[in-house]
Chain A
Amino acid sequence: MRPRRLFIDGIASWTPTLPDWPTLAQALRNEVPPAPDAAPQRPSADLLAPNERRRAPESVLMALQVAQQAVVASGQDMAVLANVFASAHGDLPITDALCRTLAENPLALSPTRFHHSVHNAASGYWAMASHSMAASTALSAFKHSFAAGLLEAASQCAADEQVVLLVAYDTQATGPLASVNSSRGLLALALVLAPAPGPASHWVLDWRLGQSAALAASAPLRSETALRLSQNASGDSLPLLQALAEGQPANLSLPLGPALCMNARLQPWPLAGA
């Protein structure tokens, strides 16, 4: 296969103590000491109507917050964007509560909790809030969920020459689920990917699938923040986030499985000297 090219037109992220992309990018560059004591914030997700915001689980709030910020940064019309939501586990506190209720008294399960438990809850809320009727999907690939989401968003971008919103998020395991699920902390990020350069394009990414032997080329995580966030199940995004934060050309190799990876050449746009 020949390499495919896409442009990154918007970047957003959220964690409880590094609540936006500029703040996280600074921490990933080691420009500020890690601040474990900073007061955790809740995602504002102000695109949602107040009554929906009250009911929506935290995974939905953080996903919508980054989705909105990335789209605003890209200058695109959120009402027409196709979107891909990637999450390894969906909302773990909801799964914990669901399983607990089912074990205790299944007839007491609340309808809201049930529809919040579907993996596409965040994508459904986003469609309602953004009014986008475009294709909307929700994916998982365990330890490779961000990379699988990036592959799907990049594939849609290339196959149909359309702008695609990619959102990735994961929560922290709670209750008995924490004995089998290692996701810790909260992390959400979003990228707007475009098939052609525009006024908001700050990066160009050339990608192709490769064998996992190329993994050695991937850069190690270089900050305490990146190492801490890599405990989140969407943490396979950190090599890309780190490269975006550092602002330099980078070769990335994102694992998609034991024998496969997505090899990407990331460069600031416009290209130097071009």
Chain B
Amino acid sequence: MKRVAGTLAPQVATIAPVAVVTKGLVCGTGIGLAALQTALERGEPALQANHFSTTPLPTHIGRIAALDDLRLPAHLAAWDCRATRAAWLGLQADGFGAAAQAAIQRHGATRVGLVLGTSASTIGASELAYRSLAPDGGFPADLRSETLNTLHAVTAFVQQALGVQGPCVTVSTACSSSAKAFAQAERWLRLELVDAVVVGGVDVLCESVLFGFQALGLVSPLPCQPFAASRQGISVGEAAGFALLQRGPGALQLIGHGEANDAHHMSSPHPQGLGAERALDEALARAGIAASEVDYLNLHGTATPQNDAIEAALVARRYAPALHASATKGLTGHTMGAAGIVEALICLQALETGLRSGSAGSPAADPAMGPLFAQQFKPEAVRAPVSVAASHSFGFGGNNGVLLFGRGPA
């Protein structure tokens, strides 16, 4: 690959499509992809007032109610915390765990890899420990576990729950994490390091994220309104989503991925969206298609004033006027490191069912974003076949990921 100096996108070669053979999801819309599909069809905001945090914080959240009382099976009980419960529920949803185990039978455990994206992982367990320290000043006995209180914990939990023994990595680039998991998995498949990869993302509600975004002034008191003129910021959500990838072709395929950094600021995006655009260019080059061929785009759309304005300008600049672009964080909340997998699954639903989702909570695009974006941005769902779907995922540290999905022959 030849790289060009400066901000220009690298000249990357096209990749062979990767088949997405199984999917599973739990998020604020409910357990399973059918619940997600129903929410996408209805398009009604699914966020609720925050009663989660120990200290009141007036905001709305995308909460998985079933996590509160969920118990892990006895052999996994040492891993118990909100993040591992979400992961467990996500593995049960849509029969994903059974399909992953069938892949292990097919290929052998060391030939099935695991890459999960998470931003906060099990930090909620550590937060709880700090609120209930033992007399010696250390963690209380029930949380005094090195394997539980570290970033890789949620991935190690899934590794044990599924029995996969191939390469096993946590990617943690804030809100682009689980989008990047797809890129990493595609490379492993291309190099024949593995025959299948479980990719996904898990992030759950925790104090770090709620009060961290609050400290940055990014939390919306009202349910989030991506791209609306009245948008006031993020509604935090939680999710665990998975996909099983193997070398293509397949009925549903990952056809491109792009990764780039803004090289600009830790918590603000590049004002011209150059890192995001470079990631888009790289994804298009890998897929061997033009941006005008994308039918459906799931926007990153966090509903912060600045991020949405920059993303809108990029979309108007690069995609076709006939694009159907929507933002779905009004349904799910911003699920942080899991946003990439949640929105990849929404793209795959669009390919599979022809439902181009609307933008729950947002009546129309901010007029300041211009007439072209106003045309591309869709508040309402539409039924129309989708051949190519794109997903944008952008995170702190200037980290950008773009995924492209398409339909295959099988």
Contact = CB atoms under 8 A, between A and B. Distances in A.
B37 interface: no
Contact of A79 (B5, B57, B210): B5
A209 B1 contact: no
B165 to A, nearest CB: 4
Interface stretch (B83-91, B138-146, B243-251, B371-379): B138-146
Nearest to B401: A135
A140 B193 contact: no
Interface residues of A, number: 71
Contact of A120 (B159, B173, B183, B264): B173
B102 interface: no
Given A132-B263, A137-B259, A106 B12 contact: no
A105 B341 CA distance: 33
B110 to A, nearest CB: 5
A109 B218 CA distance: 14
Contacts, number: 246
B167 A260 contact: yes
B137 A124 contact: no
A219 interface: no
B208 interface: yes
B30 to A, nearest CB: 29
B172 A140 contact: yes
Interface in B323-346: none
Interface string B120-155: 000100110111011011110001111111111101
B207 A121 contact: no
Interface string A185-215: 0000000000000000000000001010000
Contact of B263 (A77, A114, A133): A133
A176 B137 contact: yes
Interface stretch (B63-71, B224-232, B392-400): B392-400
Contacts of A133: 7, 260-263, 274-275, 278
A88 B150 contact: yes
Contact of A155 (B127, B150, B187): B187
A121 B173 CA distance: 8
A81 to B, nearest CB: 9
A134 interface: yes
A148 interface: yes
A103 B169 contact: no
B410 interface: no
Contacts of B110: 209, 211, 259-260
B246 to A, nearest CB: 15
B212 A117 contact: yes
B: contact size bracket: 35 or more
A128 B264 contact: yes
A38 interface: no
A178 interface: yes
Interface in A72-91: 77, 79-80, 88-90
Contacts of B29: none
A89 B149 CA distance: 9
Contact of B260 (A135, A148, A158): A135
B267 A111 contact: yes
A113 B137 CA distance: 23
A245 to B, nearest CB: 27
A111 B265 contact: no
A171 to B, nearest CB: 13
Contacts of B151: 88-90, 119, 140
A209 to B, nearest CB: 6
Interface of A: 1, 4, 77, 79-80, 88-90, 95, 98-100, 102-103, 105-107, 109-111, 113-115, 117-121, 123-125, 127-128, 130-142, 145, 148, 151-152, 155-156, 158-162, 176-182, 209, 211, 256-260
The 10 closest A-B pairs by CB, nearest first: A124-B397, A179-B138, A114-B212, A119-B172, A135-B259, A127-B261, A103-B130, A99-B130, A120-B397, A136-B261
Given A136-B173, A140-B170, 13 more contacts: A98-B208, A99-B123, A109-B214, A115-B266, A119-B151, A120-B395, A123-B261, A133-B7, A135-B261, A138-B173, A155-B188, A162-B1, A176-B133
